[in-house]
Amino acid sequence: MVKFCLKCKNSFWGGKFCPKCEGEEPLLDMANEENHKYLPELNVDVRPKYFARSAMLLTCFGFVMSLPLGMFVFLRGMSESGNTTLWASIGGGTVIGVAWGSWILSHKLFDKKMEDVEDDPSKQPQLD
């Protein structure tokens, strides 16, 4: 969950107190409805973080699932015909195609979601 510090205006992934500020400055959880009143004061937009995380998960899923799928295609083809070169090429092409396709799809998904994020010069990007 994303939490914000009102003093230094940084966002963090969890914790009770701000690790950057002196003393014990409490972090606000933005999932709580009562803390939404502080969003204009914070002057940040965290939607890109969530969109990037969604895109990374989709890419990771594609890369992880491409190898078993490619191996299945290769083994299934080998059990039918025995042409190693052909089925190794098809299996390798499947791995590359699924991995590349998931990467392209996640990039398009990220770009599509970022269209809704307005380009406000007063908002600071959160790069931590």
* pLDDT recorded at residue 42: 66
- Give the pair of three-digit tokens for residue 65: 């699932």
Per this entry, what is the length of the chain? 128
Residue 53 has pLDDT above 60, yes or no: yes
Res 22: pLDDT: 82
The pLDDT, as a whole number, for residue 124 is 60
- Of 51, 96, 48, nearest to 69 by C-alpha is 96
CA 86 distance to own-chain centroid: 36
- 125 pLDDT above the threshold of 60: no
Phi, psi of 38 (to 5 degrees): -85, -10
Which helix H or strand E contains 62, and what residues bound it? helix 47-80
pLDDT at residue 118 greater than cutoff 90: no
What confidence score (pLDDT) does residue 72 get? 95
- pTM higher than 0.95: no
Q: Which residues is 4 bridged to in the sheet?
A: 11, 28
The model's pLDDT over 79-93, given as tens digits with 9 standing for 90+, comes to 988 889 999 999 999
